[in-house]
Structures are given as structure tokens and as C-alpha cells.
Structure 1
Amino acid sequence: MDFNFTPDQLDMQKMVRDFVAKEIAPHALEMDKEGIVPSDLWKKLDEAGLLNLTVPEEYDGPGLDALSIALIYEELGKGCAGVATTTAANALASYPVVLLGSEEQKRKMFSVINDGNLAAFALTEPGAGSDAGAVATTAVKDGNEYILNGTKCFITNGGIAEIYIIFANTRKTAGIRGLTAFIVDRNTPGFSVGKEEEKMGIRASNTCELILENVCIPVENRIGREGEGFKIAMKTLDAARPFVGAVSVGLAQAAFELAVKYAKERIQFDKPIASFQLVQAMLADMAMQIEAARLLVYKACWLKDQGVPYSKESAIAKCFAADTAMKVTVDVVQVLGGYGYSKEYPAEKYMRDAKIMQIYEGTNQIQRLVIANNILY
């Protein structure tokens, strides 16, 4: 594993870092308060090429390797985890088509994303979170169409996407063996957006309920064969989890830098608190944890780019980085004391944002099961 980045990767990292410093970080607290990303920022993200990162080069995308994408998401995570989550949802939604989509499906899906639109990956339901086999949304074949009925919840980009990957069951009571993936356009009759979630963190990210009432889609919108949905979902999550880890690392890094700056400036007992060994120990622990998380993310991405198995390493990277983001941000609030608990500083936002990293795209308890299965079986 080569720890030297290419000139292109370094240039790209700097470009994103500058973009975040100018367009995202100064507005992060306002976006968190309002619970929305301004439309002009989406336009700027599109112009900067940050909405179609996983689109292959042959479909007019950047064709980036996983490590390069991770570098980008780390920088976006530093600026605002909510914005990073929304852009990463495009990657999550594109992977089922990258993996098993037909030529026609790839051109359709990627043209929508390349045009600056958002996409959404809709697996979770009120009764189906970690247990994908409990999906109750149905897809009944009727001639050359499927009729979809059901409800999805906690869907990132749910209210603002133009195209969706919907998982439904094509065989009643079949569990994961009946799970099938479909492409659904936003304007399809019978498809509607339900309530928007009022979240603790990543508030800039849109999270909504989706309602499907006799939604008719052509057979051509089915990805792969009937019953392949579970395999598609698991491979998609394997591919996307290191990017959750990258966002977690960026979030933790931003919080850490805030704590270091504050510790140098905050005077107590006629000294900056950075001179106190207990504070130094907290900062040192943060630095170690962030560096370890970053390297685990890089390794998972590197393995993916080599075309070798990486499911275990993907789960390790996501789990460790998310746990690190949570621990680091809690400790940052502690270093800042009362100011850490106040909305005057971004420390409390970092802590609220970090919690979801341990929950979405597979809870960290599920990640531990994935890791254990790779070890034991």
C-alpha cells in the first residue's frame, strides 16, 4: 500500500478543501439551524463535480477510484456532515446500477445524476431497518410492468431526489430471497413524498418518508433478476461504507482542530488549558484515534481499488471511524466546557452529527456482525 498520493489526488483534495472553506464551512451552522441546504449551493456542488463522483468515465463521470472519493468525502465531512451525507447518498444510489444495471439503466441513471440532480437509495422501512428481509413493500408483476405498494422511511434525499432505487419484495413472505431492486422516477404516478424527519443531527440533509401507491413501472426498471435485491443491497453497502468512514474522519478532524485551537487560547489559572496534562492526554487520544480511523478507511478503499475482497475491512473502517467520530466529538465538547455545550461554537453540532454515523448504512452493531462472520465463517 503506497501512502503517497498522486499529483491529481493532491490537486483534487486541495480544490475540495478550498471549496469547503469558501462555500460550506462558513454556512454550516446556519444550514443546521434552518435544516436545509440552499439551492445555490447544490448548483455550486454540481459545477465543482461533487455530485457524480461514482459515475464511471464511460458514462461522462469522473471515473474516480475509491481512495480519491474518500479524500473528497473527508473534506466535505470537515465542512458539514449534512452536506457530505447528501452528496454521498448519490454514490449510494448509483452503486446498484454500477454493479448490476443494464446498459440502458446506466445511461438513464447516470444522465440524471450528471445533470446535477440528486438520487436516493430506499431500503429502510418502519418495520425493516437492520433486518432487510422484513421489507414489506411489494412489487407484483403484471404483464410488462411491476406494481409497487409500500412505505419507506428515513430516506436520505427522499424529498429532493429525482430518481430512486427502491427495494421491494416480489415474493410474499420470502424474506431476503424475494427482495428486488427497481429504478423509480420521482414523477411516476402513485409515488409521493411523506413527512420530513426532524433530526437531531445532519439537519442540512433531507430525510423523508416515501409512499408508493400502485406505482406502475416497466420491467426494464428492475435491476438484475427477481430476488437479487439483497445481494445488490449488501454489495452496495460494502462499497459505500468506507465513505461513511471518510465523512466520520473529516467530522472528527474538524472537531479536533477546534479543540486544539480553543485549548491554546483558553486561559485558566493564568495558563492556557493546553498546558495541562489531562487536556493534553485528551488531545493526544483524539489524534491517535483519528489517524487510526483514517488509515482504516484508506486501506478499505485501497483493497476495493485492487479488486480484492474487502467486505470485512469496509465494515471495520465504517465502524471504527464512526465510533471515533462519536468519542472525539464528545471529548471536544468536554474540552470546550460550557462553550462546547453552547450553540455559539460548532462543537455541539459536531457531536449531534457524529451520532448518525454509528446508525445509518448499517448500525455499528451490524458492522460487528459482518466482521465476526468474516472471521468465523
Structure 2
Amino acid sequence: MTASSPPSPTTNPPAARAAVDAEQPLDEGQFAALKAEVAAFVAGPGEQWAEQIEREGEVPDALWADLRERGYLSLAAPAEYGGRGLPFSRYLELVELFSMSHASLRMIVHVTNGIWRAMDQFATEEQRARFVIPLVRGETRVAFTLTEPTAGTGADLRCSVTRDGDHYLLSGEKHLITFGVKCDYWLLFARLAGTSGKEGTVALMVDRSAPGVTVESMPETMGVRGTDHAHLVFREAPVPVANRLGEEGRGLEVALGGFLTPSRVSVGMTCVGLARRAQELAVEHALHRTTFGKTLAQRQAISFMIAENAADIEAARQLVLHAAREWERGSGEDAAATSALSSMCKLTAVDMLTRVTDKALQIHGGIGYWSSSPIERVYRDARAQRFEEGTNEIQKTVIAREVLRRHSQQQEVAR
């Protein structure tokens, strides 16, 4: 391999790899034990971590170490990389549990178990050994770096690179980059200077210590407290061409197919998990809070809210699992349909979470608005899901485009 011309990738496309993972045998007894272990962690140590994060306003390195030692950062990666090799749909059953904990803890598990896919799908064997496997093993942290302050999240990227021998010179800005302050690499998406649209986009592994980079921590967020978010400014920062994943012009394929499609499904399940936690808190409160001689649970208005929440949560869960299985199936020949389905489940789950948390807080009454009440944190954290991995409006755009495309195709066939 020469530094200026990385060889073609030797790995399967993401959908094909998902299908391979899904075919691995699964010991149901071991998986049940793992689910019980995760549930116990979330209810015990997870809550202790949550209290510390809320108190101190940051995610301690010790939490990362704890999650790594328990094997929770390598659940979805292939066994040959050092992961558990769980099929995507089974991994999501664990995501539901993790999402009942603090949002920042969930974010660590969610991002780390997903970002390896984006890196792996176009990685050479050398890049896999240098970037992917250390991430799976928990030896390095990688931040997904797509969003920009002066552009939408997609083909209108303005961060640009120019070629200078064996390096690209990177210039531009990124913001809202989760774990972008305390990482080892940014998996960054930019475009060749002078190009437009998806053509000319590139995916680069940018070293956190590269010269010409300014890193700023962004202000504290309403919810998901403790997770660092970065604002990044690049001024002709040198990036080795050998750190490019895939060919020039395929950067958005790395971002969208490798990470965003399955990640939107995962976010859908995080909504289910958080809604489930809100429902548990509401039910517990309704069973023990007494007014005028009756528990809240005995009042029809409250019991109806609880029933509506239960139906809402289950419907969203099943749509998420359906989307996960379709992605696992390896529908690479119809990636647009798979992408649209991931947007459907994310949109549906986010709207469900909004309804469920609002009713759960209402069931608590005024006391639920105080920070001493667990539902207050859940309510704050829930709002972030509305724009994580794309706003509701973006999801609707993806869905509508696919619906209209299919209708046009059907009309063509009918002619």
C-alpha cells in the first residue's frame, strides 16, 4: 500500500455484513443471562453513575472503563474483532435496557457499538487493524463528525479538503460532535474543494492531536448532561491520505449506510427504553399516591393514560424490531427502502416518547417537575431524541422521497 493510494476495501458492504452477523448461532440461555446482567447493572451501578453525572456535570473516565471491562462497548462487533457478535436485533434488546439508565451512559453504549460499522465497511485490512479493532477493544475513542454549523447534515457539506502530496489539508467547522472533545480520532466527513453534492465527499480518520485544529467544549445541554459535545475549527489541518476510508466521492456512503441507517433504528429503540422507564415511574407513582381516599391508579383518567402509554410503547418497539430485522436481512439491493424504514421507526418512536413522557410527568403532578423526582431527568433527556440522528423533518423527507419513488416505479411498470 502507498500512502497516496489506499487499496480497495476487502470487506462486505454493511447490509451483507449484517446478514453474516445475524447467521451466527446464539445461545438463548447465555443471552437471557446477559440481559439479566444488563438489567441489574442499569438498576444498580447504572443509577449510581447517573447520580454522579448529574451531580458533577460530566461523564467520568471511570464509567468508560467500567463499561469496557463489562464488555458493553463491544456487544455488536464481530467476534473476530474482539466483540460479542450479537445480531443487530438482539443487540437492540440490550439497548432498550441501557436506555432506561442515564442518557449519557446510553449514548456511550449506542455510539461505540455502532460507529465501528461505518469505519469497517470500507476499511482496508491495515486500516481495520489500526482503527476498527482498537475501537472495539475499547483502546481508542472515535467521534462521528458530520454536523456543521453553516450547513445541513448531508450532501451540502462545506468542510473541505485539498490534496497536498500524501496528505489532505482540511479546513472548515463542525459542531454538536458527541464525544468530540475527549476522543482519539474524529471520523470526519468533508468534500474535495470545488465539488458539490455527494460527489467528491470523503471520509477521513482525523487524529485528535492534528495541528491546525481548535477544539472547544460546547455549553451544557438541557438533557443528556455530562456527554461532551465539541465545536471544531480546522485550518488546513493535515490528514494522511492513508487515513481515508474508501474512495473519493463515497464519503456519504460511509456516513449514511454504515452508521446513520442502523443508528436511526438504534435511536428508535433508545426511545422505547426511555419511554419504558417513564412508564415504570408513572405506574409506581400512580399505585402509591393517594388523593381523596383513592390511589391515582384507581382513577380512570390516570389508568387510561397508563394504558395508552403501554400500547404506544409496544407499537414502537415492534416497528423498531421490524426495521432491525429488515436491515439484518441485507436488503442492499434496495438501500433506499431500508433507509426509509429506519426513518419511519425513528420518527414513530420519537413521537411516541414525546407522548409517553408528557403523560408520565402529568401523572406525577407538580412534584414531577422538581429535580428531586426521577421523571424530571427522563423528561429532559427525552427531548434530545427529537433531533438525534436527524430531526423529525429530515425523517419525513427521507420517507416521502421513498414513497414517491416507489409510486413512480409502479406507474412505469404498469405502462
Give me the TM-score of the superposition, normalised by structure 1: 0.94
Deviations 1:324-357 (A, max 9, x none): 1121111111110111111111212111111111
1:195–1:22 CA distance, 2 compared to 1 (3 A): same
Letter in 2 for 1:224: G
Match of residue 264 from structure 1? 287
1:341-352 equivalences under 5 Å are 341-352=369-380
Residue equivalent to 1:313: 341
* Structure 2 counterpart of 1:121: 144
Corresponding residue to 2:108 among 72, 81, 86: 86
Q: Is the 8 A contact 1:126 1:152 kept in 2?
A: yes
- Residues 224-239 of structure 1: matches in 2 within 5 Å? 224-235=246-257, 236-239=259-262
The CA deviation at 1:164 is 1.6
Equivalent of residue 223 in structure 2, options 196, 201, 226: 201
Q: Name the residue aligned to 1:289.
A: 312
- Corresponding residue for residue 191 of structure 1: 213
Please tell me the residue identity of whatever aligns with 2:261.
D
Alignment-derived partner of residue 185 in structure 2: 163
| Residue 39 (structure 1) shift | 2.0
| Deviation sequence 1:61-92 (CA, Å, 0-9, x none) | 22221112211211111011221112222234
After the TM superposition, which segments of 4 or more aligned residues of structure 1 sit over 3 Å from their partners? none
Which amino acid in the other structure matches residue 28 of structure 1?
Answer: A
Q: 62, 70, 76: which one pairs with 1:48? A: 70
User: 1:96 maps to what in 2?
Assistant: 118
Q: Is the Cα–Cα contact under 8 Å of residues 217 and 228 in structure 2 kept in the other structure?
A: no
Residue 249 (structure 1) aligns with = 272
SS at match of 2:143: strand
Q: Does 1:20 align with 2:42?
A: yes
Separation in 1 of the partners of 2:217 and 2:103? 22
Amino acid at match of 1:157: F
Structure 1 Cα separation of the partners of residues 103 and 66 of structure 2 = 17
Q: Deviations over 1:222-242 (max 9, x none)?
A: 111111112222212112111
For residues 8-48 of structure 1, what are the alpha-carbon distances to aligned partners after superposition, in whole Å with 9 as ceiling and x for unaligned? 33222112111212211234244134321222221110011
Q: Distance in 2 between matches of 1:211 and 1:51?
A: 29
Distance in 2 separating the partners of 1:248 and 1:76: 11
SS in 2 for 1:320: helix
Query: Shift of the alpha carbon at 1:267?
Result: 0.4
- CA RMSD in angstroms comes to 1.8
Shift of 1:252: 0.6
Equivalent residue for 2:23?
none
- Residues 53 and 64 in structure 1, CA contact (< 8 A), matched pair in contact too: yes
Say yes or no: does 1:145 pair with 2:167: yes
CA distance in 1, matches of 2:339, 2:160: 29
Structure 1 residue 221, shift from structure 2 partner: 0.7
Q: Residues 119 and 164 of structure 1 are in contact (CA less than 8 Å); yes or no, is this contact kept in structure 2? A: yes
Counterparts of 2:302 and 2:387 in 1: how far apart (Å)? 29
In 2, the alpha carbon distance for the partners of 1:89 and 1:210 equals 19
CA contact (8 A) 1:191 1:210 kept: yes
More moved, 205-214 vs 263-272: 205-214
Q: Which residue identity lines up with residue 380 of structure 2 in the other structure?
A: R
Cα distance change, pair 87–129 in 1 and its aligned pair in 2 (3 A): farther
* Residue 153 (structure 1) shift: 0.2
Count of matched residue pairs: 373
Q: Percent identity?
A: 34
What is the match of residue 332 of structure 1?
A: 360
Is the Cα–Cα contact under 8 Å of residues 138 and 169 in structure 1 kept in the other structure? yes
How far did 1:370 drift? 1.4
Structure-2 separation of matches of 1:57 and 1:330: 41
**Could you list the per-position Cα deviations for residues 262-294 of structure 1 after superposition, in whole angstroms to 9, with x for gaps in the alignment?**
000000011001100000110101101111111
Residue type matched to 2:152 in 1?
G
Evaluate the alpha carbon distance shift between residue 116 and residue 24 of structure 1 in structure 2; reply closer, same or farther with a 3 A threshold: farther
